[in-house]
A = this chain, B = another copy of it.
Amino acid sequence: MEIVFLGTGAGMPSKQRNTSSLVLNLSAEEGGYWLFDCGEATQHQLLHTTIKPRKINKIFITHLHGDHIFGLPGFLGSRSFLGGDEPLTIYGPKGIEEWIITSLKLSKTHLTYTLHFVELKEGFLFEDEHFKVETKELQHVISCFGFRIEQKPLKGKLLIEKAIEAGVPKGPLLQKLKDGHDIVLDNGKTVYSKDVTGEPQTGFTVAILGDTRFCEAAVELSKEADVVIHEATFDLETGDLAKEYGHSTIGDAANVAKKAGAHSLIANHISARFLPYHIAHLEQSGREIFQNLHIAEDFSHFEWKDDKLIKK
């Protein structure tokens, strides 16, 4: 699992940070590439990565503010123009479907792929073979959602030596055992999958939250998560502004991760008032509350590997 930040700014683009967007790369886990929010010029940011628009198979929109959605019509058109023909699903708040349909129609943008829309409601959003995704409403000035993505437990590895010892011949029977099925050998003996496979491994959990004040829903979505991605529009000194505008300080973000017992935290949605040389201070003030904290830059690239978050 990898996370690539495309836009880590707040409200407006600046020379340092674009408006909100990130890619959750679940291709190694058979989930594909999921885009979270799509501020203006998200497709431009993708040009500087190896991620092709056609690879993105799901888009999650936290809320309808322009800095989170104004890149959608252009992205959708370019995905088509660049050869995307696999279906794409957009999970977003009420209103996004109507706006996208209107925008595509007005601009005579014809898509070469099927576009599905799923309107966000609190609770389980979907579940497939590999993942379970849950959403909750956060506390912003307009309706805004956070997502909890849980990878399902992974089947134990096939212990090949044990299987051969039990008399299983090389070939398709091994795959059956690996997939959890018990088998009967030619000699009538039953070999149980659990006897020749290792322990199931727990999957990872990522919480990706939209714009919000400090709130319990953010803590719940982040409960014991391996990685929490939380906004931090303000610093500790401007906490009053944060509350007023429905945003968080770096301290709020750190407290969410701490209270949730999370493993690691990446803060994004950083106000343009913080210039590059302020960032170390911001990071330090958050780490006094929650140690394993990073502040994302545009094109920051993280990997979750061997139960650790690695900055690439």
Contacts and interface: CB of A to CB of B under 8 A. Distances in A.
Interface of A: 11-15, 18-19, 40-41, 43-44, 47-48, 64-67, 69-71, 73-74, 77-78, 81-82, 95, 98-99, 102-103, 106-109, 141-142
Given A12-B82, A67-B74, A70-B70, 6 more contacts: A12-B43, A13-B74, A40-B40, A64-B106, A66-B77, A103-B103
B106 A99 contact: yes
Nearest to A19: B74
A224 to B, nearest CB: 34
Given A44-B13, A106-B95, A106-B99, A73 B74 contact: no
B11 A81 contact: yes
Nearest to A15: B47
Contacts of A67: 74
24 contacts: A12-B43, A12-B82, A13-B43, A13-B44, A13-B47, A13-B74, A13-B78, A15-B47, A40-B40, A40-B41, A40-B74, A41-B44, A44-B44, A64-B106, A64-B107, A65-B107, A67-B74, A70-B70, A70-B74, A70-B103, A70-B107, A99-B102, A99-B106, A108-B142
Nearest to A99: B106
A47 B107 contact: no
A56 to B, nearest CB: 16
Contacts of A142: 108
A66 B13 contact: no
A60 to B, nearest CB: 17
B40 A43 contact: yes
Nearest to A103: B99
Contacts of A70: 40, 70, 73-74, 103, 107
Contacts of A98: 106
A15 to B, nearest CB: 6
A124 to B, nearest CB: 26
Nearest to A96: B106
A14 B43 CA distance: 10
A69 B40 CA distance: 12
A-B interface, 5 closest residue pairs, ranked by CB to CB distance from nearest: A41-B41, A66-B107, A40-B74, A70-B74, A12-B78
